[in-house]
A and B are shown apart, each in its own frame.
Chain A
Amino acid sequence: MGNRAPGNRRSVFSRLGANRDLRLFLLVLPLLAFVVVTVMIPVGQFLYRAVDNDLLAENLKLTAASLADWSPDQGVPGEASFRALAHDIRNAREAGTLGQVAQALNQQITGVRNGFIKAAMLVDEPDAVTVEDLTRVIPALGEVPLWSLLKSAQSRWTDFYLLQSIDLERDQAGAIVNVPADRAIFRDIIWRTIAISVNVTLICILLSLPVAHVLANARPPWSGILLALVLFPLWTSLLVRTVSWIIILQGEGPVNATLLFLGLIEEPLRLVYTRGSLYIAMVQVLLPLMILSILSVLLKLPKELLRAATSLGANWWQGYWRVLLPLLSPGILTGSAIVFVFALGYYITPTLIGGPRDQMLSSYVAQFTNKTLNWGLAGALAVQLMALLLIAGLGWAAFRRLGRRS
């Protein structure tokens, strides 16, 4: 393959070549099918929840239709819309979907859930329901925002959750604005997730370079033992590893006891449940991945490189910085990609060893998925996480290109 001249490229598609490509394709087909079925379809479905408005569109058909010509500046709509809503509530009650509808509306306007569930008892005869009856159980019907929300059921898609996941919302006129400061949390969480992942990656690079160097130059019995030590954290259960750190770092733990004994501090330092302890625990797990990536490149380089550089007049540091490090950069890049991507998805470790302000994006995805069943917001946050991955991937590709060109 390597010695095929560029001008000869057409021949790849000669009958023989095409057959070979087809065979290769058939060989990876099972893997491709597996990835599509087990990863891409479920992930795609979950991400779709971020914009899915089917539930409201299905269940609030009549109301949305009655609001077709209505706009928020007209104020609360007339009796016909109230009656349409009563019909929708009764239909949803019969279909068993009223609870979900109430929950979904409550995600967008806090405090309407119980009203919609109580309204189920009023709507046996929807045409007899009055504006006053409905407004009594659902007071928010006396104001415009809820009606704007009900009108949004005209569409099968919504941008509410995607906007919410970056602290934005639509105002009455439909323009996109920042949410008030006392509700803005997600940008902070996204930045925190990026910062933690970047810092963990940088710390891993700094710690891995010397270790990889030692490993590459160690002699047989030692190289094996050192490698086993490096890999050890990977083989330990996540829980055991994290809990050990809690024990080591806590107020009466060995670290504080030693510092106190040496007289370096007067009262125990707060080491655990901080950003610092989170870094320690994450770096310990991810470090082997970085070391192995760098080592795989380092072992292929001739050992005499540094000596050659020094013999040509460079000091050790210059030799390392200007000769060895650029050659190691593919390993560093690969390692960084692996470590960064792993770090982005962390959530059990931050829960156990970080404080409430050290929780990462994935914790919130888990919380909204599992606990509050707000799959729209969970999907939107997952979209943000995927966007981060995509940006990281593009950055990585750009770096590699740059590296190859120089």
Chain B
Amino acid sequence: MKSRIVTAAALALIAATASAQAEESMTAVGWGGSWNEAYDKGVFQPFTAESGIKVNLDEWGGEIAKLRTQIESNAIVYDFVSVEAPALEIGCAEGLFEKLPDAVYAEKDSYLPGTIHPCGMASDTWATVMVYDGAKLKDGPKSWADFWDVEKIPGKRGMLGQAQYTLENALMADGVAPGEVYDVLRSEGGVDRAFAALDRIKPHVVWWTSSTNALQNLSAGEVVMTDLYNARVTAENEKGSNYVIVWEAGFFYGTDMWAIVKGAPNRDNAVKFVEFFAKPENQAGFPKLYAYGVGHKDVEKHLTAEQLERLPTSAKNLPYAAVYDTDYWAENKEALEQRFQAWLAQ
């Protein structure tokens, strides 16, 4: 009797392992929190329903150092990751990522600028926008020149304490159109011009390091306006705040990119996901739930007017936008951040 139970248990165990082996899966890594929730519900669950491939969703802070160590030590646990576009650029050149399937990359003309790359496609497009509290300020700023004008609208300004994204804003305040900002930065004296503009606003700035502290400064009235990531603003407004995004002042959007890790244990499943995600109706699952856009131009057709309006890449907001130049930042980030730190210390 006893031996029969043992046999049955052993058989059950074998069956369980066998079915676990048969179950296809992949490990995807996103930015955590509500971002992961939106992706899980809007994109990965439909994918699993269609393909039978289970998606284990993990989170990280975009540290591609982790990929480098996993690949160097040949212990790869991530299959599919979302990374910032400049990191994709660096990682792709370094050989940390697989190339996209040819059929997917061939569609590149259907994508917004900066949202597709030989090594990856946009997981989300986000923007750093100008924001003020509509409950406190009746006649808010209309342009970056207004942001710089402390006589017109008195009070402290919140700004991200780093060179990247801040130099762009400084040049817009100095009268440069978003589309020409990188031409100016690349030209002789362009960076000096941005720092000269920053000199003028410096005494009135409260620098922030995380979006939570930027938002707290704004809600506590420590600053009258700030730059901030647009989805953070939307999320607060959904909780009842009245923050106003000044899209028309001009803004830059950046992309985080999905990429397949080189040597991923479930590479084939990740490729299947990329093929699934290349269809605009499947991409639309994310922006339906979250105020960040995705890459394919046809995604708009699958969204309501309300869902569209809050995206940096909607037809309404796109005319005021330019894309963050990943080539420029891959080359100049370290040197300019160093200069920015030295400038802050002066």
The answer on A and B forming one complex is yes
Residues of A within 8 A of B68 (CB): 373
Give A83-133 interface residues, CB cut-off 8 Å to B. 96-100, 102-103, 106-107, 110-114, 117
**Which listed residue (A96, A106, A181, A373) contacts B342, Cβ 8 A?**
A181
Question: B331 touching A96 by the CB < 8 A rule?
Answer: no
A369 to chain B, nearest CB (A): 5
A44 in the interface, Cβ–Cβ < 8 Å?
no
A195 to chain B, nearest CB (A): 13
Question: A110 touching B222 by the CB < 8 A rule?
Answer: no
**Which listed residue (A99, A250, A272, A370) contacts B90, Cβ 8 A?**
A99
B297 to chain A, nearest CB (A): 27
A21 in the interface, Cβ–Cβ < 8 Å?
no
Give complex CA distance A252, B216 in Å. Answer: 10
Interface string of A145-168 (1 = CB under 8 A from B): 000000000000000000000000
Interface of B: prevailing SS = helix
Among B62, B221, B341: residue with most chain A CB under 10 A: B341
Question: A250 touching B216 by the CB < 8 A rule?
Answer: yes
**Which listed residue (B87, B220, B330) contacts A252, Cβ 8 A?**
B220
Give complex CA distance A352, B214 in Å. Answer: 11
Question: B206 touching A250 by the CB < 8 A rule?
Answer: no
Nearest CB in chain A to that of B96: its residue:
A99
B65 in the interface, Cβ–Cβ < 8 Å?
yes
Question: B95 touching A373 by the CB < 8 A rule?
Answer: no
A18 to chain B, nearest CB (A): 41
Residues of B within 8 A of A117 (CB): 93
- Chain A residues with a Cβ closer than 8 Å to the other chain, count: 45
Question: A182 touching B331 by the CB < 8 A rule?
Answer: no
The A/B interface has a contact count, at CB < 8 Å, of 111
A102 to chain B, nearest CB (A): 7
Give complex CA distance A375, B69 in Å. Answer: 12
Question: A352 touching B342 by the CB < 8 A rule?
Answer: no
Give complex CA distance A272, B213 in Å. Answer: 10
Residues of A within 8 A of B95 (CB): 96-97, 99
Segment touching B, from A183-191, A224-232, A309-317:
A183-191
Interface string of A346-359 (1 = CB under 8 A from B): 00000110111101
**Which listed residue (B64, B209, B339) contacts A373, Cβ 8 A?**
B64
Question: B331 touching A351 by the CB < 8 A rule?
Answer: no
Nearest CB in chain B to that of A369: its residue:
B65
Give A180-225 interface residues, CB cut-off 8 Å to B. 181-185, 188-189
Question: A371 touching B87 by the CB < 8 A rule?
Answer: yes
Residues of A within 8 A of B331 (CB): 106, 110-114
A340 in the interface, Cβ–Cβ < 8 Å?
no
A212 to chain B, nearest CB (A): 35
Residues of B within 8 A of A98 (CB): 93
Question: B65 touching A184 by the CB < 8 A rule?
Answer: no
The 5 listed contacts between A and B (C-beta, < 8 Å) are A97-B95, A99-B94, A252-B221, A355-B209, A372-B90
Interface on B for A, CB 8 Å cutoff?
61-66, 68, 87, 90, 92-95, 161-162, 206-210, 213, 216-217, 219-222, 327, 330-335, 338-339, 341-345
Q: A188-B342, A356-B209 are in contact. List 19 more A-B contacts (CB 8 A).
A: A96-B95, A103-B93, A110-B331, A110-B334, A113-B331, A182-B342, A250-B216, A251-B222, A252-B219, A252-B221, A270-B206, A355-B209, A356-B344, A359-B209, A370-B61, A370-B64, A372-B333, A372-B334, A373-B68
